[in-house]
Amino acid sequence: MTIEVQWENEAHTVVLLQFKGSMTWREYDEGVDKTYALMRTVDHKVDVISYMHPTVRLPKGDAISHIKRAFTVRPPNMRKGLLIGSDLFGEAVVRALIKVKGIQETYIAVENVEAAHAMIAKLNQETEKS
């Protein structure tokens, strides 16, 4: 499993979390924790693009508890989490959890990285207007 966590821009307002290849739930949790640790190094709002590449399949086991954990332990400076799923099961789990009260305000399922960037640009425009 390869997990890549990096700032997407010099302003440190977007983190890209990428999952590539096969993974375990432990590796998934570690990727989430690395992302949140990076976010805690700044005191402004941060968007996260979480991208499970098409070759990634969720591991066997309790998907809901691990994904729900990622949603609930997020740092307070997370503005939006933009989620790009890997397989139909993963997308279904994410879409179901996004509907949970308190989570739906923060997370958005998007089709690809380009759609994530477009959503962030839209959010930035809305922020500038207010």
Q: What is the rounded distance in angstroms from the CA atom of residue 119 to the CA atom of residue 49?
A: 11
Q: Are 98 and 109 contacting, i.e. CB atoms less than 8 angstroms apart?
A: yes
pLDDT tens profile 15-25: 999 998 888 99
Q: Where are the domains of the chain?
A: 2-129
53 Cβ contact partners less than 8 Å away, ≥ 6 residues apart: 18, 19, 20, 21, 86
Considering the entire predicted model, what is its pTM? 0.86
Looking at domain 2-129, its CATH architecture is 2-Layer Sandwich (3.30)
pLDDT tens profile 29-76: 999 999 999 999 999 999 999 998 888 877 889 888 898 898 889 999
